[in-house]
């Protein structure tokens, strides 16, 4: 069956959609993005909206604990704030369940996450670091991480952390693929049932393709957090930096 091109994709009638890419401990950028979105919603009197966070809230950046506190508070205050799981959330849970010096958490930014909880994690003291981190992480954080869904869908858009497996209907996607897949998805040029909005693969800016939008702009290193805003058929890219939040029209090359 024919697929859907980005230029033709629309948000649900009467709903403005926002999707925010990989945060990786950059609470400053996440807060700036939320301030800009809240100001838009208030100024333009948006009747209904959803803010979808695409996962990878922890690791690498300086304040993973602060990011989780922020998102938990947002989700408790308003169910229209949605948070999906990324592979780094799963990596943190895996470490808490079974600590390993060779797992994702220790090798790819978990030292910074542990430090945000006041724990020093070193290769020579994984056991002690694990015990200290398990004691330092609030139960609410573990409950939040364990509750995260792997996808969401609104209008003509399908949201997940990493991507989907080409050839498999959206309704039958493997949760593991939704948070881990890379090359098979990124190299596929065909259109899907819906436009896939994802993160997981860092770039220098938001990457818009006919069949997908990658919002991972490597916030922890570039200092830019990217988001997609959609209302009706109008689409914009928002970029939060330490200086300001910028926006531009979202179009395919």
Position 251 scores a pLDDT of: 86
Q: What is the pLDDT of residue 252?
A: 78
pLDDT at 1: 55
The phi, psi pair for 56, rounded to 5°, reads 60, 65
Sketch out the chain's domains with CATH numbers.
6-87+139-249 (3.60.21.10)
- Give the pLDDT of residue 112: 97
For 200, how many CA atoms within 13 A lie in the half-sphere containing its CB? 27
Give pTM, 2 decimals: 0.97
List of the chain residues with pLDDT < 50: none
Q: How far apart are CA 207 and CA 40, in angstroms?
A: 23
Per-residue confidence (pLDDT) for residue 151, from 0 to 100 = 98
The predicted structure's pLDDT at residue 35: 97
User: DSSP of the chain, one letter per residue?
Assistant: ---B-GGG--PPTT-EEEEE---TT-HHHHHHHHHHHHHHHHHTT-S-EEEEE-S--SSSSS-HHHHHHHHHHHHHH-TTEEE---HHHHHHHHHHHS--TTSHHHHTTHHHHHHHTT----GGGHHHHHHHHHHHS-HHHHHHHHH--SEEEETTEEEESS---TTS-GGG--HHHHHH--HHHHT--S-BSSEEEE-SS--SS-EE-SSEEE----HHHHS-EEEEEEETTEEEEEEE-SS-EEEEE----
């Amino acid at each position: 069956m024919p697929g859907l091109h980005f230029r033709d994709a629309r948000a649900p009638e009467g709903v403005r959609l926002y999707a925010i890419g990989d945060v990786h401990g950059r609470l400053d950028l996440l807060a700036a993005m939320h301030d800009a979105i809240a100001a838009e919603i208030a100024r333009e009197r948006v009747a209904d909206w959803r803010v979808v966070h695409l996962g990878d809230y922890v690791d690498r950046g300086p304040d993973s604990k602060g990011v989780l506190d922020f998102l938990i508070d947002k989700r408790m205050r308003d169910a229209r704030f949605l948070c999906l799981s990324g592979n780094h959330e799963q990596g943190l849970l895996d470490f808490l369940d079974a600590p390993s010096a060779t797992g994702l958490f220790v090798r790819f930014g978990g030292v910074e996450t542990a430090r945000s909880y006041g724990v020093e994690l070193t290769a020579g003291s994984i056991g002690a670091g694990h015990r200290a981190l398990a004691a330092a992480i609030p139960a609410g954080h573990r409950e939040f991480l364990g509750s995260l869904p792997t996808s969401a869908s609104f209008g003509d858009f399908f949201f997940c952390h990493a991507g989907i497996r080409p050839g498999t209907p959206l309704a039958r996607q493997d949760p593991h693929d939704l948070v881990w897949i890379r090359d098979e998805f990124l190299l596929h040029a065909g259109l899907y049932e819906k436009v896939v909005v994802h993160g997981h693969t860092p770039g220098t800016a938001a990457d818009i393709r006919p069949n997908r939008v990658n919002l991972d702009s490597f916030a922890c290193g570039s200092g830019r957090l990217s988001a997609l805003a959609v209302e009706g058929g109008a689409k914009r890219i928002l970029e939060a930096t330490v200086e300001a939040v910028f926006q531009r029209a979202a179009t395919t090359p």
